[in-house]
Amino acid sequence: MDVKSWTFLIVGLTFALYIAIAIWARAGSTREFYVAGGGVHPVANGMATAADWMSAASFISMAGLISFMGYDGSVYLMGWTGGYVLLALLLAPYLRKFGRFTVPDFVGDRYYSRTARLVAVVCAIFVSFTYVAGQMRGVGVVFGRFLEVPVETGVVIGMGVVLFYAVLGGMKGITYTQVAQYCVLIFAFMVPAIFISILMTGVAVPQLGFGSNLAGEVGSRIAGGETISLLAKLDGLHAELGFAPYTSGSKGLVDVFCITLALMVGTAGLPHVIIRFYTVPRVRDARTSAGWALLFIAVLYTAAPAVGAFARTNLIDVVEGARYAESSETDAAKTIPAWFKNWENSGLIAWVDKDGDGRVRYRSGAPFDGKPAFESGPTDEAGRGVSGERLVTNAPSAGENELYIDRDIMVLANPEIAGLPNWVIALVAAGGLAAALSTAAGLLLVISTAVSHDLLKRTFFPQIRESRELAAARISAGVAVIFAGLLGIYPPGFVAQVVAFAFGLAASSFFPAILLGIFSRRMNREGAISGMVAGITFTAGYIVWFKFVAPETNTAEHWWFGISPEGIGALGMALNFAVAIAVAKFTPPPPPEIQALVSSVRVPKGAGGAQAH
């Protein structure tokens, strides 16, 4: 069968599985809708957490970032994995012992304030919508290529599936759906990685192949008869084409530190991940499920650098210097394969023959002149099309480079670039959709519970009946899906970049409030509210300015202290801490019962009199 048929078959089967699970696990109460009844097994919760956390950014975009950025892409590996360890050890057990459904619930009760709860609700919705934009963008990329439909159509299909199992099943349906989605996404990521590792290095374990010599059918051809490691060859190819060495870093040390820190503490403050620890029966199970999740996450994350390097090496070998069309010339054996033109149709690869030689010239430098005129529709000044795709113009001023490759396609196109069977290509499509949809569902549930539970039940209508609260949760989830779809159709950037912004916003808003709420009896409502408002306002303003208001100034010389918009969340977090502590110092302390509650949350059950200290 061809790729499209395989894609319809495999994606259709996985979607049928998700919907069947949602029907089987549909929520019948608000407790089941919000926290799956609190009875999920730690191993199942670990799988669901891994799927919830490993979004389209992890599956689709992270290896693509590494393949283009090389060493600089390691900030995403260090930040996201380090952040999960921070969350599992420092926050999860205490939040579970506190026993509230949501992060705004924790903030509202810990800081004994309706205003604090409302600020936390606004932050949760803002962070979740920013994050979900990246997931829906990933859904559109996958459908646009493999089902040969417009990006908008692909996003609408994804919206329909998420709407069904998120609205019907709530957290209970989402949890067991995410268990299935983890199995799909990890199988889809590792199968082609293993295949390609064997073809390029002769080693079946990608994590080991990453540091091995080129060997095997494909690797021997790329090595040209010499004994050379994959990374050394990739450095040489980069040097020939004018790129920075793959294994060198070009980012400033301060920016690397801030991006890593923002991703770490942003992970620990993400509301859709934190809520997962309320779905297990006991506090001990929260820590256990966090450990399982870390193990499940590590399988993909340790393989991502290898996948990025394999994809980059294969891409340069297949594309650079290849003729776009068949020719009778003696050197015409190397021609652009069919997958290249298929991705061109999706708008995610673009090539212009500037020198008229009929060959693809891939070099360092921008492939467009900044203000492309493109017949398919309006574009913005940064060179993006109506669906967020990058476009190329035949502008001599753009330099020698003739090619644009959207980094979000590297994992999805990797099996095609390596010439793997069609069923593997379709499997990767199903895995990308599983990653995007699993996280999108968790984020939509956060938005839904923020509206129905935190705004209606806990703030404005405390006497609301459970049936009406459940109906409000489902309606708000449906409305959130529509807004998420619009963000997927008109994305503010590529997947991992958008997700990095969401982590920065979470770092600058929630993390200090949660950390101080657990470990500082002196932190009061005035301090927490002031810190959250200051942190998220500063971070959002910085991102909006450099990415949307004045994108022409988005360079290192214009950034504050050399910190990029992706890393500014670290500075926003520091501002949050500083404002919160300063305001708390000059305002009344929390009531005695709140201070006692903070002490009890940190004391293990059965510690007796130690609680008083």
Residues 531 and 576 sit within 8 Å (Cβ to Cβ) = yes
CA-based nearest residue to 270, from 451, 128, 82: 128
**347 in the Ramachandran plot: left (φ > 0), alpha (ψ -120 to 50) or beta?**
left
pTM over the 0.85 mark: no
* Residue 3 to residue 17: CA distance in whole angstroms: 21
Residues 447 and 344 sit within 8 Å (Cβ to Cβ) = no
Quote the pLDDT of residue 329.
55
Query: Which residues have CB under 8 Å from 300's CB, separation 6+?
Result: 54, 58, 59, 185, 186, 189, 190
Residues 570 and 265 sit within 8 Å (Cβ to Cβ) = yes
Separation of CA 388 from chain center: 17
**From residue 322, how far is each of 235, 315, 327 by CA, in Å?**
20, 11, 11
Buried b (16+ CB within 10 A) or exposed e, 17-42: ebbebbeebbbeebbbbbbbbbebbb
pLDDT tens profile 175-219:
788 888 889 999 999 999 999 999 999 999 999 998 899 988 888
Element (H, E) at 271: helix 271-274
**From residue 428, how far is each of 109, 181, 587 by CA, in Å?**
44, 12, 55
CA dihedral 195, 200, 206, 212 (to 10 degrees): 160
> Phi and psi (nearest 5°) for 258?
-70, -40
Residues 370 and 330 sit within 8 Å (Cβ to Cβ) = no
Tokens encoding 258: 């801030």
Q: Given the structure tokens 């506190």, which residue do they identify?
A: 98
> Phi and psi (nearest 5°) for 250?
-110, -15
Q: Given the structure tokens 């293990």, which residue do they identify?
A: 604
* Residue 514 to residue 575: CA distance in whole angstroms: 15
Quote the pLDDT of residue 529.
94
* Residue 88 to residue 50: CA distance in whole angstroms: 12
Identity of the residue numbered 482: I
**201 in the Ramachandran plot: left (φ > 0), alpha (ψ -120 to 50) or beta?**
alpha
Quote the pLDDT of residue 35.
56
* Residue 441 to residue 18: CA distance in whole angstroms: 12
* Residue 47 to residue 343: CA distance in whole angstroms: 32
Residues 384 and 38 sit within 8 Å (Cβ to Cβ) = no
Quote the pLDDT of residue 388.
40
- DSSP secondary structure letters along 327-382: -SSTTTTSB--HHHHHHHHTTSEEE--SSSSSB----SS-SS-SS---TTS---TT
- DSSP secondary structure letters along 539-577: HHHHHHIIIII-GGG-STTTSGGG--TTTHHHHHHHHHH
Buried b (16+ CB within 10 A) or exposed e, 362-378: beeeebbbeebebeeee
Residues 19 and 164 sit within 8 Å (Cβ to Cβ) = yes
Separation of CA 79 from chain center: 12
* Residue 334 to residue 323: CA distance in whole angstroms: 6
Q: Given the structure tokens 């599992």, which residue do they identify?
A: 88
Dihedral sign for Cα atoms in the order 492, 493, 495, 496: negative
Q: Any idea which fold 3-315+418-499 has?
A: Hydantoin permease (1.10.4160)
Element (H, E) at 239: helix 230-241
What is the total residue count of the chain? 613
The list of the chain residues with pLDDT below 70 reads 25-39, 100-101, 165-173, 249, 326-333, 346-347, 365-399, 491-500, 603-613
* Residue 236 to residue 72: CA distance in whole angstroms: 18
Identity of the residue numbered 317: D
Domain boundaries, the chain: 3-315+418-499
Query: Which residues have CB under 8 Å from 550's CB, separation 6+?
Result: none
Element (H, E) at 403: strand 403-405
Cα Rg of the chain (Å, integer): 25
Q: Given the structure tokens 């090595």, which residue do they identify?
A: 223
Buried b (16+ CB within 10 A) or exposed e, 76-101: bbebbbbbbebbbeebbbbbbbbebb
Residues 74 and 90 sit within 8 Å (Cβ to Cβ) = no
Q: Given the structure tokens 């007796």, which residue do they identify?
A: 608
**From residue 402, how far is each of 66, 336, 350, 392, 584 by CA, in Å?**
22, 14, 8, 8, 57
